[in-house]
Amino acid sequence: MLVIPAIDLFDGMCVRLKQGRFEDVTVYSKYPEEIAMSFEQDGAELIHIVDLNGALKGEPTNFKKIEKIVKSINIPVEVGGGIRDIDKAKTYINLGVKRIIIGTKGCESPEYFEEICKSVKAEVIAGIDAKDGKVAVKGWIDLTNWDALDLALELERRGAKEVIYTDITKDGMRTGPNIDATLKIAKKLSIPVIVSGGISSEEDIISILPYNKFGIKGVIVGRAIYEGNVNLKKLIKKLTELSLC
């Protein structure tokens, strides 16, 4: 099980939101590159970065800060938030970002999502954020008519290498992930699925392990790390030991 620590950027700072509400923001650091370095030291193999300003505005806003993060570490990063055209995706790839997360644009135009997949030399990940099963876009502000499973199937067909599924009602709440909804998607896809939203403890993550056989490859963890409920270094060591048993 891959544990992917998250860095959400808002005005250049490392923050977390609750249920995607921008009025409910907690600032954890003004130096997210230092957070990234600590994640690498703890054994993380991949870091998940979201440009929250970019998600709202529709174009990357924290580019300089993301550039600084990428240059500060030796492990790969995946980036999402405001990447809605091929040029912006290529800009990140030229910077050294290994995985591009497309959310809003994939929902608005699966055809253009396919063009991005064909045009960039990186893994393109479908970011599917849902509330009560319906996909939300533009920084989780607008709720669409897309069913999360239907969109996941469509974007897999269009070339997505992976799906990150986030239950908005769980995100930042530390009430446990929505395994049922994630598993429903994973069982229908042939590409891996990443769990996101609601992780509150080490036990939450370990409980996901049995679902690896259904295609749930990993889990994104944010607030639980920042507030000390999950010790990333100890967790990664424990998961490694469990995988060897």
* Active-site residue set: 8, 129
Task: Determine contact, residues 215/187, Cβ cutoff 8 Å.
Answer: yes
DSSP string, the chain: -EEEEEEEEETTEEEEEETTEEEEEEEEES-HHHHHHHHHHTT-S-EEEEEHHHHHHTS---HHHHHHHHHH-SS-EEEESS--SHHHHHHHHHHT--EEEE-HHHHH-HHHHHHHHHH-SSEEEEEEEEETTEEEETTTTEEEEEEHHHHHHHHHHTT-SEEEEEETTTTTT-S---HHHHHHHHTT-SS-EEEES---SHHHHHTTGGGGGGTEEEEEE-HHHHTTSS-HHHHHHHHHHHHH-
